[in-house]
Structure 1
């Protein structure tokens, strides 16, 4: 059984993934600002109420791993912040916050957890088709999509830096999934996949994908957007 850290577990895919891993017998550290009671009650899930954009909050993660788990097998960056707003109306603080969550938070959590990861471990970052160079882009998502492009490059660089240690880094660039975040970006749009459908795919990839990929970006999309 694996020790698995997942961010963004209060709803959507993160919530579904936490339950799926835990139900399969894995130990899950679920990180989100809001803690769902269902996750908190599961015997295989430990919930921490944290904001990944805050360095002080991330100390709780390293403290838990150091004193309880001692090692991490899978780190799954699922948390994300979205802003739908014309570029000319976005304030500097708003733009910076999107990057704090989607890029800087990912980097900071990697720094906190990597000392406890060994050969065979897997870091999976959930990005977006909007962050893929040459993909269709949508007005109003300049902060979100550009941040998702940045985190792709970060993962590619870390795969190179940690390959001698046997730690794999991969990115899943997702298309539309029926989540609350999708409705915030595309109100009324019905995606072909549910949060549970995509969680099934991501969970399997997190456990096995590092056998086949490292430093790769997989486009997981059956529709546009």
Structure 2
């Protein structure tokens, strides 16, 4: 039984992951702004309503960990904010809003959890193929894709900084997955894999990937995009 923190659990991949880990007997801390009833009703899942763009809200996580778990085995940084807008119309505020969730949220949550991570802990950041250097890029995703590139480098740096403690940091750069967020950005596009299908892969990787990888970026995509 492991203690698993997952962000972005209100829908899509994060929602499927929370249920999958709970059903497998693990303890789950589900973090999202909105909390689905199915997660609230699951006895293995604790839910925190948190806006990851607000650093002050990380105190809720600190309070939970210090009073309840005492240790964290896995963090899955799954939450993401997407903006589809021409670069000429993308303001600094737009960039800041995306980076607050996709980059600063990852950094702040990791920092809060550091005292509770131990040898064998695994921090998995869900990035995007759009953040991979040299990959196919799409107009209108300047803020989103650049933020996903930033967390890749952040994870590589943290893997180096905390390798002596035995904490692994890895990134999964996902291709298109059939989620609500994808449909909102690209109406009518049909991705080759479902949210549950991708959750199946992430589930296994989060539990065992740190035995084989640290500081690595794995491209998880069967299509282009």
Report the equivalent of 2:51: 51
What are the residue-to-residue correspondences of 1:93-172 with 2, within 5 Å? 93-172=93-172
Unaligned runs of 5+ in 2: none
Report the equivalent of 2:15: 15
Superposed CA offset, 1:5-60 (max 9, x none): 00000000000000000000000000000000000000000000001111221110
Superposed CA offset, 1:79-136 (max 9, x none): 0000000001012111100000000110000100011010000000000000000000
Give the match's secondary structure for 1:214. Answer: coil
Deviating beyond 6 angstroms after TM superposition, the runs of 4 or more aligned structure 1 residues are none
Unaligned runs of 5+ in 1: none
Instruction: Report if aligned partners of 1:17, 1:199 keep a CA contact under 8 Å in 2.
Output: yes
Give the match's secondary structure for 1:178. Answer: coil
Pair 1:72 & 2:67 matched: no
Give the match's secondary structure for 2:119. Answer: coil
Aligned-residue CA RMSD in angstroms? 0.5
Q: Distance in 2 between matches of 1:34 and 1:157?
A: 31
In terms of mean alpha carbon deviation, does 89-98 or 76-85 score higher?
Answer: 89-98
Q: Distance in 2 between matches of 1:147 and 1:68?
A: 32
Q: Distance in 1 between matches of 2:116 and 2:142?
A: 35
Superposed CA offset, 1:167-207 (max 9, x none): 00000000000001111222211011000000000010000
Q: Distance in 2 between matches of 1:156 and 1:171?
A: 9
Q: How many residues end up aligned between the 2 structures?
A: 225
Q: Distance in 1 between matches of 2:98 and 2:120?
A: 31
Give the match's secondary structure for 1:123. Answer: strand
Instruction: Report if aligned partners of 1:8, 1:31 keep a CA contact under 8 Å in 2.
Output: yes
Q: Distance in 1 between matches of 2:153 and 2:184?
A: 26
Q: Distance in 1 between matches of 2:92 and 2:127?
A: 22
Instruction: Report if aligned partners of 1:84, 1:184 keep a CA contact under 8 Å in 2.
Output: no
Pair 1:187 & 2:187 matched: yes
Give the match's secondary structure for 2:145. Answer: helix
- TM-score, normalised with respect to structure 1: 0.99
- TM-score, normalised with respect to structure 2: 0.99
Instruction: Report if aligned partners of 1:178, 1:190 keep a CA contact under 8 Å in 2.
Output: yes
Superposed CA offset, 1:122-174 (max 9, x none): 00000000000000000000000000000000000000000000000000000
